[in-house]
Structure 1
């Protein structure tokens, strides 16, 4: 790792020399701006070097998004046969020249830069030997200048959890360091969240469960981990991280306009708002499809139509209409069979005349 430490130190010292020649001597607002700008332009230099790789990453991501329908077909075709599915997926990636690992490459390449700057700034503190001061291409004067550099009177090598004896060596106040470091860590967490959210809002949530889990990890997991570990980072490293996030926000804004996601991927992606609207509409459909209470009297549609006929235009039951219907009905022709041995029934008065018996 020494060669990486030397390369990062060389870029940092070159930018410090440039700004030290441009800016006036002394601190302004309790800040050594030549060192602050050296860290900022170290970020810009690294990101410009990695920009071609970043473009390849975006193109690879767009190719993967365009392949999602074919990937889903293979997953459905080889459901339960993971080995066959992996073989066909690799063949598909090879034929379409898509690399699923390309999306992580720029992030992995920035990790050594971050760790190198963390190591370099952590060792920059007063009281070091002359031999230690001249490691990684530094001179003793550059080392002493960086060890006493401050941002709003907070030493750059200090961090939120620095102890009193460490702050005494650096010439810093505990309250000042906690305020400056705390504000920077909060900005670092917020910009890290915004960087992930910006991409998800444009491309939507992935339909693939594994990809969606990675998106959630990037959106929530990394900011939460920074909430715990951010207090251990030197202020100079936090400045580097915040600058990286701000650069990423601008770079992603340009990329999303230059290389918009495929319409198919944007259509299948699901945002927070769409997810809530879908769940709400599904609940409404379920409520609408739920059957109503059954007719307690077991009446069918025919019974309802007869009851509706007995209702007057003003909504009250039409009893007269029911009576008229009963009066107009033909008399029943049903007769009971006579019991054995019973006398024949005589006709009542007003009935048909009896037949005269002959003789």
Structure 2
């Protein structure tokens, strides 16, 4: 491995030495501040270089979430044919331009630097020069302590080795335990934040179950493997976890996944500030509700014939006195006081005049005989 990663040993050690030269202007060159801040600066530099990969990771994660219903349908359709199922999955990835491994790219990209830093600090713990770190820098790094723990010490080291580095076993174990706990908690919070705030909860998919499982698996892995990490590596890993947590909080707040809790909260903040107009769908729904309300309140329009004839047949309109109003021959209603209007009488009076004193219809000439 030293042969394969040899160039990276030189790169990592050179970066650390450059930062160490800078921080030696402010702190003692043999202090833990100078060497510890050099490791933190290395993390920041690496993570800044990995920002494009982090953006791809976010996009890939969202695409995978969006594809989960389709993937589940393919699994159900071809559950008895594994080969056809794999072919359809690859076809779906190709059509949508999704790479399932994109979400792992930042971790994979960090792995060589992590291994190189681990080997550099391991060489320092063994008193061996590595990369551009010569004997004078090696002696300076071995003297550096962070809260009483040497950079190259581990939780599992024995007391004699720790004393040889100028520290006590208690100091080393207390510092390493605290850093391992902080490292695990930061990893757990980062994963939990992703699951509770940046996932579309309206879609239940196996992908969500996998993420939920990883939320508990990763912290346990950090706790188990952390006891074998040198203090310098714990500083590196804790710093990268804190960076990831802050970076994810920024992304979730500014660009959350649609349908997630963070997306709803962002929409509410924008509306409160007046920076977000109402959704066209919401506006159309409100207009439809107002139109429906207006149609219920407005009386129905009657036709001209209904307005002239009054109430419908079979349902006579009654006056306040209980009498039924009859329609005259010319369509005018009888007044409620019973008096005939000028120029005409009621229909009953007209019929009586015809029988008694009204004009008689002339008889036919043939009837005179």
Q: Same fold (TM over 0.5)?
A: yes
Matched, 1:25 2:21: no
Q: Which has the higher Rg, Structure 1 or Structure 2?
A: 2
Please give the residue correspondences for 1:71-82 in structure 2 after superposition, counting only pairs within 5 Å: 71-82=71-82
CA deviation map 1:146-167 (0-9, x unaligned): 1110012221111222212211
Task: Give runs of ≥4 in structure 1 deviating > 6 Å.
Answer: 264-267
Q: Distance in 1 between matches of 2:261 and 2:176?
A: 40
> 2:249 is matched with which residue?
253
Change (3 A) 1:146 1:26: closer
Answer whether contact 2:28 2:34 (CA < 8 A) is retained: no
> 1:63 is matched with which residue?
63
Matched, 1:45 2:42: no
In the TM superposition, what is the alpha-carbon distance from 1:26 to its structure 2 partner? 6.7
How many aligned residue pairs are there? 257
> 2:224 is matched with which residue?
228
CA deviation map 1:299-327 (0-9, x unaligned): xxxxxxxxxxxxxxxxxxxxxxxxxxxxx
2:17 to 5, 13, 23: 13
> 1:178 is matched with which residue?
173
Answer whether contact 2:121 2:233 (CA < 8 A) is retained: yes
1:151 to 146, 153, 156: 146
Change (3 A) 1:256 1:217: same
Matched, 1:160 2:155: yes
Matched, 1:208 2:205: yes
Instruction: Specify the SS of the correspondent of 1:124.
Output: helix
> 1:271 is matched with which residue?
none
Change (3 A) 1:14 1:35: same
Please give the residue correspondences for 1:1-359 in structure 2 after superposition, counting only pairs within 5 Å: 1-21=5-25, 23-25=26-28, 32-125=32-125, 128=127, 132-133=128-129, 135-204=130-199, 207-209=204-206, 211-263=207-259
More displaced 10-residue stretch of structure 1: 63-72 or 109-118: 63-72
More displaced 10-residue stretch of structure 1: 163-172 or 73-82: 73-82
Instruction: Specify the SS of the correspondent of 2:204.
Output: coil
Change (3 A) 1:26 1:13: closer
Answer whether contact 1:185 1:238 (CA < 8 A) is retained: yes
Whose relative contact order is higher, 1 or 2, with alpha carbons under 8 Å and at least 6 apart?
1
In the TM superposition, what is the alpha-carbon distance from 1:25 to its structure 2 partner? 2.8
Unaligned runs of 5+ in 2: 264-369
Instruction: Specify the SS of the correspondent of 2:156.
Output: coil
Instruction: Specify the SS of the correspondent of 1:116.
Output: helix
CA RMSD of superposed structures (Å): 2.3
In the TM superposition, what is the alpha-carbon distance from 1:6 to its structure 2 partner? 1.6
More displaced 10-residue stretch of structure 1: 8-17 or 37-46: 8-17
Answer whether contact 2:125 2:153 (CA < 8 A) is retained: no
Answer whether contact 2:27 2:34 (CA < 8 A) is retained: no
In the TM superposition, what is the alpha-carbon distance from 1:258 to its structure 2 partner? 3.5
Q: Distance in 1 between matches of 2:221 and 2:27?
A: 39
CA deviation map 1:106-145 (0-9, x unaligned): 111112211211111112137x3xxx42x31112211111
Instruction: Specify the SS of the correspondent of 2:131.
Output: helix
> 1:294 is matched with which residue?
none
Instruction: Specify the SS of the correspondent of 2:10.
Output: helix
Q: Distance in 1 between matches of 2:245 and 2:28?
A: 33
